[in-house]
């Protein structure tokens, strides 16, 4: 995964610096906010939570951007089973995306889609569950829409709605760890 991201970054830099290439920019920022749980059992045991998402994107041509974000922070606790044993769940992941930003005077609207590699880990404080740990990774698609409001020429506030479908099957039963994210944050753009 790291080699793939490094190769993609080097390719983007090479394309951006090619003779006759249009002006490009890099934007980076930080988003945070609540996330929901799609699966009723997950919602009942763990509920929603908060996620944090630093991001970076490269503007290549007329609103087209390629980027990456890392999501972490969702780690709720609860009780599970007929014996109400303590449990915890952690979900985090890295995403790469492509999107289109439509800029107006002081704001821009965007749509983006991509691919995510998410890890999930569940612990249950039970003698039986200790023999069957859940600690795995899975891939999924990601889609988001957002709005940037520029405070200064390069500094902006942002809001984003993102959906991550994340169906996993650690044992015999499929579970949906996906859900909606409602994020707000701040970003900064550097133009070249």
What is the span of the domain harbouring residue 144?
23-191
CA dist 117 to 13, 16, 24, 64, 181, Å? 23, 26, 27, 22, 16
Q: How many domains does the chain have?
A: 1
- Strand 85-103, strand 64-74: pairing: antiparallel
State the pLDDT at residue 22: 58
- Hey, is 15 helix, strand or coil? helix
Domain of residue 55, CATH code: 2.40.160.20
Q: Identify whether 13 is part of a domain.
A: no
Residues pairing with 85 in the sheet: 80
Rounded average pLDDT per 10-residue block, the chain, 192 residues: 59 56 83 94 90 95 93 92 86 96 93 96 79 84 97 94 90 85 96 82
* pLDDT attached to residue 19: 54
CA distance 120 to 6: 24
Q: What is the pLDDT of residue 174?
A: 84
Tokens of 50: 């908060």
Residue 3 lies in a domain: no
- Residue 7 in any domain: the answer is no
Angle at 68 between CA 190 and CA 112, to 5 degrees: 90
């Amino acid at each position: 995964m790291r080699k793939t991201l490094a190769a993609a970054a080097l390719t983007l830099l090479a394309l951006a610096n090619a003779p006759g290439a249009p002006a490009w920019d890099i934007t980076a920022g930080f988003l945070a906010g609540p996330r929901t749980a799609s699966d009723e059992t997950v919602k009942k045991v763990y509920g929603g939570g908060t996620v944090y998402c630093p991001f970076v994107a490269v503007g290549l041509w007329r609103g087209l951007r390629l980027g990456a974000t890392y999501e972490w922070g969702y780690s709720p606790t609860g009780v599970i089973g007929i014996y109400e044993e303590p449990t915890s769940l952690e979900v985090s992941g890295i995403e790469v995306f492509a999107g289109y930003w439509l800029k107006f005077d002081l704001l821009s609207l965007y749509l983006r889609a991509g691919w995510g590699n998410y890890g999930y880990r569940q612990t249950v404080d039970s003698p039986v569950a200790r023999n069957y740990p859940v600690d795995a990774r899975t891939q999924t698609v990601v889609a988001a829409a957002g709005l940037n409001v520029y405070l200064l020429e390069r500094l902006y506030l942002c809001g984003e709605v993102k959906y991550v479908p994340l169906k996993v099957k650690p044992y015999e039963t499929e579970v949906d760890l996906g859900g909606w994210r409602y994020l707000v944050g701040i970003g900064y753009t550097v133009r070249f």
